[in-house]
Structure 1
Amino acid sequence: MTDRILIVARMRPDSADAVAGLFGASDETELPRVLGVTRRNLFRYQDLYFHYAEFAGPASEAMAVARERGDFRRLSDELSPHIAPFDPATWRGPADAMARGFYEWTGDAR
Structure 2
Amino acid sequence: MVFRNVIVCRMVPGSEDKVGPVFGHYDKATRPQDLGVIGRRLLSHNDLYIHVIERLQDPKISGQTRGLPAFQKIAEEIAPYVTPYPRYWKNPSDSVAKEFYHWAPDGPEPADTKLTVIVGRIKPGAESDVARVFAESDAGSLPRELGVSGRWLYSIDDVYVHLLEQDTSVAEAQRHNHHKPAFAKVMEELSPYISPYRPETWRGHQDSLAKEFYRWRAED
TM-score by length of 2: 0.47
| Displacement after TM superposition at 1:68 (Å) | 2.5
Cα deviation per residue 1:62-97 (whole Å; 9 max; x = unaligned)?
Answer: 3312x1210100100000000010001110111101
Report the 3-state secondary structure (helix = DSSP H, G, I; strand = E; otherwise coil) of the residue aligned with 1:103. Answer: strand
The counterpart of 1:74, out of the listed 158, 173, 185, is: 185
Distance (Å, rounded) in 2 between the aligned partners of 1:94 and 1:61: 17
Letter aligned with residue 22 of structure 1: V
| Count of residues paired in the alignment | 108
Q: Which residue of 2 aligns with 1:40?
A: 151
Q: Do the aligned partners of residues 75 and 11 (structure 1) sit closer, same or farther apart at CA in structure 2, a change above 3 Å counting?
A: same
Q: How does 1:10-89 map to 2 (within 5 A)?
A: 10-57=121-168, 59=171, 61-65=173-177, 67-89=178-200
| Displacement after TM superposition at 1:39 (Å) | 0.6
Distance (Å, rounded) in 1 between the aligned partners of 2:132 and 2:158: 18
Report the 3-state secondary structure (helix = DSSP H, G, I; strand = E; otherwise coil) of the residue aligned with 2:215. Answer: coil
Distance (Å, rounded) in 2 between the aligned partners of 1:84 and 1:18: 14
Q: Which residue of 1 aligns with 2:215?
A: 104
| Displacement after TM superposition at 1:57 (Å) | 1.6
Letter aligned with residue 174 of structure 2: A
Name the structure where helix makes up a greater proportion of residues.
1
Structure 2's unaligned 5+ residue stretches are: 1-111
Q: Which residue of 1 aligns with 2:203?
A: 92
Q: Which is worse superposed, 5-14 or 99-108?
A: 99-108
Report the 3-state secondary structure (helix = DSSP H, G, I; strand = E; otherwise coil) of the residue aligned with 1:102. Answer: strand
Distance (Å, rounded) in 2 between the aligned partners of 1:60 and 1:98: 16
Q: Do the aligned partners of residues 90 and 23 (structure 1) sit closer, same or farther apart at CA in structure 2, a change above 3 Å counting?
A: same
Report the 3-state secondary structure (helix = DSSP H, G, I; strand = E; otherwise coil) of the residue aligned with 1:101. Answer: strand
Please tell me the root mean square deviation across aligned C-alpha atoms, in Å: 1.4
Letter aligned with residue 184 of structure 2: R
Letter aligned with residue 16 of structure 1: E
Q: Do the aligned partners of residues 99 and 29 (structure 1) sit closer, same or farther apart at CA in structure 2, a change above 3 Å counting?
A: same
